[in-house]
Amino acid sequence: MHALVFIKQVPDASQVRVNYETGTLIREGVPAILNPFEVHAVEEAVKIRQKFGGKVTILTMGPPQAADALKECLSRGADKGYLLSDRIFAGSDTLATSYALYEGAKKIIELEGEVDFFFAGKQAIDGDTAQTGPGIATRFNVPLVTYLIKLDEINLEEKYVIATRLTEFGQETLKVPIPVFFTVEESLNTLSHSPLPWLIKAAQSKIEILSGENVDLDKNQCGLKNSPTIVKKAFTPEKKQRGATLTGTFDEVVNQAAEKVAPFLNDAL
């Protein structure tokens, strides 16, 4: 079994504040963390490895500091981390990012062997697009199960999984052939406490760096120039005031409501 987990290092959203005048995020001084959804993706991949054997590989694209996020994955039980890092990727939108990660993943398959399970978080908490994972899956032309909440069955011999995903209307349980790409919800699993030896191994391990040179790239699909996404406007939703709560018996509440609403109707009529 070989699982490949795509992760992203993101600003700690609990510490990011919004500049209400410009509508932009204040990221300065905010520590970077592993995207919370991907913590669960790593956890699930490691759980599968503990059951079936094999290995878990991690891939991310980002600046050299992103190695810290990879090390955290290793401390959570992953076997090896790869960092795709090159200036040519700077400013990539989800289209260019999914292309770069697809090429990086192909390189990893070359180095580490065929992949059975691709994992990513359902979205990154800094952009909330939920596009990069599906973008990679589409490029690999493998089945895609988004919003995964449960892996009901894994059959490596007959090469299928039964997986449950969240939809807008409820849940959907699917039988899907392997290899398969999952984007996961936080409710997929509860995080376990990693044994100390895993943390020690992670601290001692080296992160493999893949640059644009190591990977077979079409440079015309990389970076800001080849990112068609345009941010037209960024704004902060207005804070809605909480409605008033009326208390009392039914009749009292109706009377209070009528009195409050009447002036507006008077104006309107």
Partner 1 sequence: MSNLKYDVIVVGAGPAGLAAATVLAKAGVKVIVIERGRFAGSKNVMGGVFYSDCMKGIIDDFPGKAPVERHIIDQRIWLLDNNSFVGFNHKNELFNKKPYNCHTVFRAKFDNWFAKQAADAGALIITRTLAKEAIIENNRIVGITTGRPDGDIKADCVIIADGVNSLLAKSLGFRKEIKRESVALAVKEVIGLDEKIINDRFNVKSGEGVTIEVTGSFFNGEAMAFIYTNKKSISLGVGMVVEDLVKNKINPNDLLESFKAHPSVAPLINGGETKEYLAHLIPEGGYKEMPKLIGNGVMVVGDAAMMVDAIHREGSNLAVTSGKLAAETYIEAAKAGDFSKKSLSLYEEKLKESFVMKDLKKYKGVPALLQHNKRLLQQYPKILNNAAFEILNVNGVSKHDKEKLLWKNMKQQIGVSNLIRDLFKLWRNVG
Q: Does 31 bind partner 1 (CB under 8 A)?
A: yes
Amino acid in the structure at residue 21:
E
Q: Which of 28, 157, 158, 218 contacts partner 1 by CB under 8 A?
A: 28
Q: What is the DSSP letter of 191?
A: P
Nearer residue to partner 1 within complex by CB, 32 or 215: 32
Site for partner 1 in 181-200 (CB under 8 A): 193-197, 199-200
Between β-strands 208-210 and 144-155, what pairing exists: parallel, antiparallel or unpaired? unpaired
Least Å distance between CB 202 and partner 1? 9
Spatial separation of the C-alpha atoms in residues 202 and 194, rounded to whole Å: 11
Q: Which of 4, 33, 66, 120 contacts partner 1 by CB under 8 A?
A: 33
Least Å distance between CB 9 and partner 1? 13
* Residues pairing with 184 in the sheet: 121, 148
Cβ contact 105:4 at 8 Å = yes
Spatial separation of the C-alpha atoms in residues 8 and 5, rounded to whole Å: 10
The count of residues interacting with partner 1 (CB under 8 A) is 16
Interface stretch with partner 1, choices 2-10, 29-37, 82-90, 119-127 (CB under 8 A): 29-37
Site for partner 1 in 47-106 (CB under 8 A): 68, 75
Nearer residue to partner 1 within complex by CB, 17 or 219: 17
Torsion of CA 99, 175, 189, 102, to 10 degrees: -10
Q: Which of 190, 204, 249, 266 contacts partner 1 by CB under 8 A?
A: 204
Spatial separation of the C-alpha atoms in residues 101 and 103, rounded to whole Å: 5
Spatial separation of the C-alpha atoms in residues 229 and 220, rounded to whole Å: 15
Q: Does 213 bind partner 1 (CB under 8 A)?
A: no
Nearer residue to partner 1 within complex by CB, 170 or 197: 197
Least Å distance between CB 8 and partner 1? 17
Least Å distance between CB 196 and partner 1? 4
Nearer residue to partner 1 within complex by CB, 191 or 262: 191
Spatial separation of the C-alpha atoms in residues 22 and 24, rounded to whole Å: 5
Spatial separation of the C-alpha atoms in residues 231 and 130, rounded to whole Å: 16
Least Å distance between CB 193 and partner 1? 6
- Cα dist. 18→14, 23, 51, 242 in Å? 11, 7, 43, 21
DSSP three-state, residue 65: helix
Token digits of residue 156: 């490596």
Least Å distance between CB 67 and partner 1? 11
Please give the angle made by the CA atoms of 139, 142 and 148, to the nearest 5 degrees: 110
Site for partner 1 in 222-261 (CB under 8 A): none
Least Å distance between CB 31 and partner 1? 7
Residues at the interface with partner 1 (CB under 8 A): 26, 28-29, 31, 33, 68, 75, 193-197, 199-200, 203-204
